[in-house]
Amino acid sequence: MLKFILKRLGSSILVLFGASILLFFLTVHSGDPLEDLRESQSNNRENLIATRTAFMNLDQPWYVRYWDWLKGVGGCVTGSCDLGTNRSGQPVGELLSLAAASTLRLVVLATVLAIIIGVAVGIITAIRQYSGLDYAVTFLIFLFFSLPVFWAAVILKEYLGIRFNDWIADPTLSWPALLLAALIAGLMLQAVMAGDAKRRLFTFATTAAFVVLVGWLLFAMDFWRNPRMGPIVQLLIGLAVAVGATIVVAGLRNRSVLKAALVTVALGMVGYYATYGLLMTNPSGLLLAGLGVLTILVAIVVGRLLGGFSKGSAVAVSIVTALLMGVAIVAEHLMNYWPTLLRMKPRPISVIGSGTPNMEGHFWVLFLDRGAQLVLPTILLTIISVATYSRYTRSSMLEVSRQDYIRTARAKGLGERQVILKHAFRNSLIPITTIMAFDFAGLIGGAVITEQVFGWKGMGELFATGLREVDPMPVMAFFLVTGTAAVLMNLVADVLYAVLDPRIRV
């Protein structure tokens, strides 16, 4: 396996080398970087031309400039990266670090959401093949997949940005909108749950009534401007996640898994009270990351100790329960500071930019502000990527479900849950892994249009500026990140293949 990985890594480096030469050559010869200065009527035009020529080494042949860039990149091995300067004399390395942090913040979240939603939708539609749900989801998926990115971005800015900001200033209950939301929720859930006509009608009516009741209560409590949760809501969330995850993964009859999930909920409530003061007085990103790692470790220990003969399932359910309870705890702290953000920033959802200039305040206020900046571009990238994941998951699940070993598993009397999750789903993940690996790198490159529409100062803006100004250094910095991401994610896919299918190791 190590020999195979090294071989793939070597070939990938050669591909990156060839592609970098081609990209540098095309960028350098795509226009005249001095065109704007040649047309200038400024008295110091010649000095400006000489300064830019020195910054960009325009007096050197393109291959000499490329060699200088390559030597600077080679210095990254020893920790002394030199990615050159742009035409204004700014170090590209500093620009790249800021742009990469901004874009990765967007792309990582969009990728995770797209994988979770897309794979879940793909499994459900594969199980319910040729049903009304399958046809409806297929229509929506192809609709999302064919949406022009710039058009969808404008629609999101109008309805989820501008109009939401107008509404949140004075939230009013719109009964037609609430009834429409209840109708859609009821139709979707009854389609997913299936069953006979009586069961479908009961599911639809119960869901619609629940949505109407909750919506009315939220308005009565002024939840949209003063949201709050509390320990009882936290406990209910934990219990709902624990029971739901147990049903999906192992079934309620598996008492060991259910016990591990419930113990995780109890420990989560202990953590809620133990960390409340700390997260209120001295929060930080490092603290949240440390608590997240600790949460996963505790969940693993609980699953291993109480899982019995189903340790793997118990660990999985415990981790899901612990993480979602952790997210709920963080959400409560964010809710506590939502009114503060509204006072500082009456229009919270930003439609332009990746951050509010000169924004200062408490950690949770800044957290909320940055999260609000992420909402619109994340939704856009997610709905586009969900189409790919759901279609590949559905087709892979259908192909695997027709295999002989699936029929054998059913003939042996295994439950449908075990057949789907332990046999069909794991083997169907092999082709999906390829899509997951390359989609991450693809989203970094594909976010160029999204970042342009939303004014996001990230990798897309760096790349577009370099092309527009015929400046190869920002373009090559963009290529360095996306190309390296493609190579690394390809290697990750190779390793995951061996984990999912042990035959590949041989």
Number of domains making up the chain: 3
- Interhelix angle 92-127/459-468, nearest 10 degrees: 120
Could you tell me if 322 and 200 lie in one domain?
Answer: no
Closest CA to 369 of 382, 356, 352, 379: 356
| DSSP code string of 105-153 | HHHHHHHHHHHHHHHHHHHHHHHTTTSHHHHHHHHHHHHHHHS-HHHHH
Could you tell me if 99 and 136 lie in one domain?
Answer: yes
Could you tell me if 216 and 266 lie in one domain?
Answer: no
CA pair distance 80, 475, nearest whole angstrom = 20
Could you tell me if 282 and 391 lie in one domain?
Answer: yes
Q: What percent of the chain has pLDDT over 70?
A: 95
Q: Which of 91, 126, 143 is the last residue of a domain?
A: 91
Q: What is the pLDDT of residue 301?
A: 95
Could you tell me if 147 and 23 lie in one domain?
Answer: no
Q: What is the pLDDT of residue 396?
A: 87
Q: What is the pLDDT of residue 35?
A: 82
Could you tell me if 77 and 104 lie in one domain?
Answer: no
**What single-letter amino acid sits at 147?**
L
Query: Structural domain of residue 73, as residue ranges?
Result: 2-91
Could you tell me if 216 and 321 lie in one domain?
Answer: no
Could you tell me if 187 and 276 lie in one domain?
Answer: no
Q: What is the pLDDT of residue 330?
A: 94
132 φ, ψ to 5°? -60, -40
What rounded mean pLDDT belongs to the chain?
Answer: 85
Could you tell me if 376 and 286 lie in one domain?
Answer: yes
Q: What is the pLDDT of residue 274?
A: 93
Could you tell me if 31 and 139 lie in one domain?
Answer: no
Could you tell me if 213 and 244 lie in one domain?
Answer: no
Could you tell me if 184 and 163 lie in one domain?
Answer: no
- Interhelix angle 459-468/426-454, nearest 10 degrees: 50
Q: Which of 62, 91, 120 is the last residue of a domain?
A: 91
Give every residue of the chain whose pLDDT is below 50, as ranges: none
Residues with Cβ within 8 Å of residue 111, at least 6 apart in sequence: 385, 436, 439, 440, 443
Q: Which of 91, 119, 141 is the last residue of a domain?
A: 91
